[in-house]
Amino acid sequence: MANSTRKRKIYVGEYGPISVNERGKVTYGDVIRYTRKLYKFSPEQVAVLYGEIAQGKPVTKRHIQRMEQTDSFFPNHPNRRWILAQLLNVPAALLALVELEPASSPGSPKKSSLVPAPGKHIDLEEYQNTLQSYWFHRDTETLEDVIRDARSRIHKLHEHILYVSTPQKQHMTRLLCGYQILLADIAQDQQCWTAAQRYLTNALILAREKNRPDLQVIALNRRMLFFVDVGNGEAALHNFVPTRKLIEYAPSPLQGKIFSLAATAQARLAQDNDALTQALRYSDEASKFIDHPTSDGFLFFHGAFDWERYLLDRASALMHPAIKKVRAPQKAQQLLDEAVKERRLHIQQTNARDTRTPLYRQAHSDLLQAQIYFDQGYDPVAITSAESVLTTIKELGSGVLLEDVASLVKGLKERDPHNIEIANLELALMKLKQPYLFN
């Protein structure tokens, strides 16, 4: 209620007095000024954040003060207003007063498929080489061209598969599954989770229809990896059940990766130390299938499950229980240190065709380090490590690991909700998770 009509003040719940304009309404500038002072953010700190939101445009302390006083110069677009409000922890009740709601992602524009007229012949070797190239070096082409070409090739393979000999049919089925999994991986990079699931389901259905258990286990493994990446341990374990039944059809490195994923998925659900120990038994099983780094082999299907990958996955299992007391940061740190040494030892043996895997591993390593620092209470270095993760993910153009980073940022913010460095980290995360807000 207003304590003085002449002063035009109102009280908003527990958040204190807010000045209103002549029409008796709270402005966005009022909300920002009140929140900034409440949480002791300086005008200079807000200027830095707003400058980032405005994509590098210079903003000064005086700009911020003038915005607060006159409600001018603030971004007119509600998306950017919402971003600044979130970073400053503006209370929900105040956001409601200025009718500011969280923005939602617009629907992705539909892209027309580029489908050429079917020819009399498909060069299966060229299709195989192109699939490998897109998997390892898709950044050499525009993503839209890669997607359209992959869809075109799927269409053409479907048209021809009924009219070829058995050996060709087998090869075409493998390629069809491969291109579906490629599109799923791209969709996951773009954080299009529903599309990613659909492409993986398409690959699995095709493998089952063609009675190809070797391809079924590959598709199921990719589904397990997808659910682990998005933090759904229960769904990952649900896919592990049929995967385990077909595991004999998987090459040795893939068997190791499957058990390693099961360990991380089980660890996400662990409520006590006994449950975590049970999860690590899958990791023990995975250790029997460790392969040595090699320059040969199609890593798209087999996956490089070497000693470094095993160490990172085991450390991940130790750090993924939701309950802090169940996690084991000291043991995870030992494994992580060993993984770094292993990477340095075998850096020259990395497959030269595969430029993405080393970056994914670096991002995963930095994420684990950030999680370990957070659990040990070393927030400043946890923030620095998390920034390194986002830098690498941005270079990859990938959406993997962002859910884990978001969980880490949430924990940091709960511990210190008004830290400007955490606000900057959250802003960097927003730019990757919700880039449409900055367009």
CATH code: domain of residue 92:
1.10.260
Instruction: Answer yes or no: do 141 and 178 share one domain.
Output: yes
Question: Does residue 81 form part of some domain?
Answer: yes
Residue 146: which domain range?
106-211
- 132: closest CA among 295, 298, 251? 298
Instruction: Answer yes or no: do 72 and 163 share one domain.
Output: no
Instruction: Answer yes or no: do 93 and 135 share one domain.
Output: no
pLDDT score at 5: 37
Instruction: Answer yes or no: do 140 and 78 share one domain.
Output: no
User: Does residue 9 sit in helix, strand or coil?
Assistant: strand
pTM for this structure? 0.74
Question: Does residue 336 form part of some domain?
Answer: no
Question: Does residue 264 form part of some domain?
Answer: no
Question: Does residue 333 form part of some domain?
Answer: no
**Residues in the chain with pLDDT < 50?**
1-16, 21-22, 103-119, 294-299, 302
Spell out a b/e string for 42-80, using b for 16 or more CB atoms within 10 Å of the CB, else e: ebebbbbbbebbeeeeebeeebbebbbeebeebbeebbb
pLDDT score at 16: 45
The domain boundary residue, chosen from 46, 77, 97: 97
pLDDT score at 133: 85
How many domains is the chain partitioned into structurally? 2
Instruction: Answer yes or no: do 88 and 127 share one domain.
Output: no
pLDDT score at 73: 63
The domain boundary residue, chosen from 211, 235, 267: 211
pLDDT score at 356: 78
Instruction: Answer yes or no: do 207 and 110 share one domain.
Output: yes
Instruction: Answer yes or no: do 123 and 197 share one domain.
Output: yes
Question: Does residue 395 form part of some domain?
Answer: no
Angle (CA) 220 224 230, round 5°: 140
Question: Does residue 406 form part of some domain?
Answer: no
